[in-house]
Amino acid sequence: MRSKASSDANAILGSNAPSELVLQFVRDVGAGVQVDANGAVKGIIKGDDFAKAFLSIWLGPEPPNPEIKSGLLGGACG
């Protein structure tokens, strides 16, 4: 069974996304994560729990590499 978050993400992005895609994720406290694709708002993946978990991938205590976190927070990116 697919989770609600997976269904939301699939509905927002669809299966025919362009090959060059710029995604922007904006946390809307109390609502979830707004997803923009190539500058257009595509929807919101609901849930503060999802938003916190999703953004902690890059901004949490153990990002994939420290340079990504630093760059996202306005510091040197490598």
Tell me what pLDDT residue 20 has: 75
User: For tokens 């997803």, what's the residue?
Assistant: 35
User: What percentage of the chain exceeds 90 in pLDDT?
Assistant: 24
Whether the full predicted model's pTM is greater than 0.85, yes or no, is no
Sequence-ordered list of residues with C-beta below 8 angstroms from that of 34, at least 6 positions apart, any chain:
25, 26, 27, 28, 41, 43, 44
Is a pLDDT exceeding 90 seen at residue 22?
no
Distance, CA of 45 to CA of 35 (rounded, Å): 7
Rg of the chain in Å (alpha carbons): 14
Q: Where is pLDDT greater, at 11 or 61?
A: 61
Is a pLDDT exceeding 50 seen at residue 2?
no
Mean model confidence pLDDT for the chain: 81
